[in-house]
């Protein structure tokens, strides 16, 4: 749909020669990566990133529709910006992402001072919509019902000098009754392997050490290629992991998220046999009750789930396994919840993202009978948190005295000024606060010995055993971040100079990608 709405206030169209922008991101890793694409598009169009704390000429909200209070949070923030916009002639506000896809023209009804509303399927339209809104003095709403090209065909300004997101697919073919994502992101469509590897190579060429492969269901990769010339391949994800292992300079590869129903042993083998694949697995459980899993339309059961974890740990004894769990799904009884606690006890997750169920309009679960009273959900949630924190602390305590290689991080920063601790991520994804030194930079790699443990982090206070300065650290110190050019030319179309499906690493005939 495309709508032009009249403005409700006069607009002074004087605008600065160089316009600044700010992107505010809510929700999952997919949204974070989409925001990198939005930033890349805006900078290609001549915008510059606003300095922290500065008012921007353009504010873009990249929204999430999964959380219960997503609507209130967005419209509250938009309300705060209304007087700012009134006082700044030429300022623009854009709303995109999942909530925009869901609400469509509702955004303008509730916040008529917004200039542009765009959906998950047409990120690339944003610069044109902004210019059209400015020229016509009318708000622009453009929501497409399906994706017309991969976000990877758009430029990206990356958030990190040392770690990058790479999308391998968009959309989801599952029909979980609690989830609104398929209706907002569409059916699953997979990128060509050569395009993915070209984007990974482009990041590594700029010093990035760690890449996370993104998909709503990564282990279904290979079943829904957009390019009809690429045949369906049930083993494509394992092959992709192995291909990442051939990229020189790529030190860490992670992925999120797989689905237990489609998780296969070839992926476990690829993880165990490919040195740069991190010993970390995020495996959503959602519920330990077979009855609740059936109501959720999660096509696996408790025994299958635990069997996967057993095979993962047999191949990688020290793998850190994390999960998602929903408490209080409609109809969940105390017996069902006890089954969840039992699975958590057996699974020994290194951490868990736990959620109190809340109805999401447009999902089957929202209209199910036997909604669990909020006070019951909260009480169960607290019991789950207590159990998981005990397990986390026990597992982390077992690591005291062991050595860990850390990729020093920036966003999590120093723990506090008194201790002088810095922060890094171990290969298994655990957060480690360590006593650093002035010459250690985010993006560098250090080795430490774990000296203490807490439920959500480890501590290393005995000093740094080794410190390797990296190109990523150089880039962070210089204040530069990777930018990646478009990779691929759209849905259902072959990549320019495309390589064979089984090519390990390629720039896809695009020349120098740096």
Write the DSSP symbol of residue 286: B
Q: Is 28 annotated as a binding residue?
A: yes
Which residues are registered as beta bridge partners of 126? Answer: none
C-beta atoms surrounding 134 within 10 Å: 18
Q: Is 508 annotated as a binding residue?
A: no
The answer to whether 61 and 78 have CB atoms below 8 angstroms apart is yes
Q: Is 172 annotated as a binding residue?
A: yes
The closest of 72, 130, 55 to 96, measured between CA atoms, is: 130
The answer to whether 312 and 279 have CB atoms below 8 angstroms apart is no
The answer to whether 185 and 153 have CB atoms below 8 angstroms apart is no
Which residues are registered as beta bridge partners of 166? Answer: 213
Rg (CA), the chain: 23
Within 8 A by CB and 6+ apart from 36, the residues are 156, 157, 158, 159, 165
Which residues are registered as beta bridge partners of 59? Answer: 22, 93
Q: Which two tokens stand for residue 113?
A: 């001072």
The answer to whether 247 and 253 have CB atoms below 8 angstroms apart is no
**Integer Cα distance of 435 and 420 in angstroms:** 6
CA dihedral angle for residue 424, residue 430, residue 433, residue 437, rounded to 10 degrees: -30
The answer to whether 162 and 472 have CB atoms below 8 angstroms apart is yes
- Separation of first and last alpha carbons in the chain: 37
Q: Is 244 annotated as a binding residue?
A: no
The closest of 127, 43, 59 to 93, measured between CA atoms, is: 59
**Integer Cα distance of 457 and 422 in angstroms:** 12
The closest of 477, 475, 472 to 162, measured between CA atoms, is: 472
**Integer Cα distance of 442 and 271 in angstroms:** 26
Q: Which two tokens stand for residue 385?
A: 């948190």
Q: Is 176 annotated as a binding residue?
A: yes
Angle between helices 126-136 and 29-44 (to 10 degrees): 60
Helix (H, G, I), strand (E, B) or coil at 57: coil
Handedness of CA 54, 60, 62, 63 (dihedral sign): positive
Strands 169-170 and 20-25: unpaired
Write the DSSP symbol of residue 123: G
φ, ψ at 426 (rounded to 5°): -70, 170
Strands 445-449 and 464-468: antiparallel
- The alpha-helical segments, DSSP class H, found in 457-513 are 471-478
Residues annotated within the binding site for [4Fe-4S] cluster are 28, 64, 98, 172, 176, 179
Binding-site residues, in ranges, read: 28, 64, 98, 172, 176, 179
């Amino acid at each position: 749909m495309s709508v032009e709405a009249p403005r409700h206030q006069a607009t002074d169209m004087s605008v600065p020669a160089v316009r600044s922008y700010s992107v505010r991101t809510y929700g999952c890793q997919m949204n974070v990566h989409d925001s990198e694409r939005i930033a890349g598009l805006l900078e290609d169009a001549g915008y510059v990133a606003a300095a922290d704390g500065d008012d921007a000429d353009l504010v873009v909200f990249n929204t999430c529709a999964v959380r219960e209070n997503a609507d209130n949070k967005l419209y509250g923030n938009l309300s705060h910006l209304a007087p700012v916009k009134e006082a700044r002639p030429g300022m623009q506000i854009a709303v995109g992402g999942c909530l925009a896809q869901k609400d469509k023209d509702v955004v303008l009804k509730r916040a008529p001072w917004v200039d542009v509303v765009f959906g998950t399927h047409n990120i690339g339209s944003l610069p044109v919509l902004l210019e059209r809104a400015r020229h016509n003095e009318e708000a622009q709403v453009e929501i497409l019902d399906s994706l017309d090209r991969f976000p990877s065909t758009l430029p990206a300004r990356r958030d990190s000098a040392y770690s990058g997101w790479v999308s391998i697919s968009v959309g989801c073919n599952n029909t979980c009754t609690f989830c609104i994502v398929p209706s907002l992101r569409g059916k699953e469509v997979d990128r060509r392997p050569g395009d993915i590897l070209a984007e990974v190579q482009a990041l590594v060429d700029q010093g990035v050490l760690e890449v996370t492969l993104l998909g709503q269901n990564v282990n279904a990769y290979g079943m829904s290629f957009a390019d009809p010339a690429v045949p369906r391949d049930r083993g494509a994800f394992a092959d992709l992991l192995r291909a990442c292992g051939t990229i020189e300079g790529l030190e860490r590869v992670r992925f999120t998220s797989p689905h237990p129903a489609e998780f296969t042993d070839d992926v476990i083998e690829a993880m165990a046999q490919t040195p740069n694949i991190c010993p970390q697995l995020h495996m959503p459980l959602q519920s330990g009750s077979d009855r609740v899993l059936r109501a959720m339309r999660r096509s696996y059961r408790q025994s299958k789930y635990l069997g996967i974890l057993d095979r993962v740990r047999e191949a990688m004894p020290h793998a850190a396994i994390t999960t998602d769990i929903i408490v209080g799904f409609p109809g969940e009884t105390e017996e069902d919840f006890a089954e969840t606690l039992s699975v958590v006890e057996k699974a020994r997750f290194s951490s868990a993202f736990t959620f109190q169920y809340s109805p999401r309009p447009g999902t089957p679960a929202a209209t199910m009978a036997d909604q669990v009273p909020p006070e019951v959900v909260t009480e169960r949630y607290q019991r789950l948190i207590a159990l998981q924190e005990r397990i986390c602390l026990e597992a982390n305590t077992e690591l005291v005295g062991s050595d860990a290689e850390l990729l020093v991080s920036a966003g999590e920063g120093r723990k506090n000024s008194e201790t002088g601790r810095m922060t890094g991520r171990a290969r298994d994804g655990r957060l480690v606060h360590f006593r650093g030194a002035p010459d250690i930079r985010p993006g560098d790699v250090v080795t430490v010995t774990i000296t203490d443990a807490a439920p959500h982090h480890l501590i290393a206070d005995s000093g740094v055993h080794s410190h390797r300065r990296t190109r990523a650290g150089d880039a962070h110190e210089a204040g530069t971040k990777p930018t990646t050019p478009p990779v691929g030319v759209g849905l259902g179309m072959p990549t320019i100079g495309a390589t064979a499906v089984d090519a390990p690493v390629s720039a896809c005939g695009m020349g120098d990608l740096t």
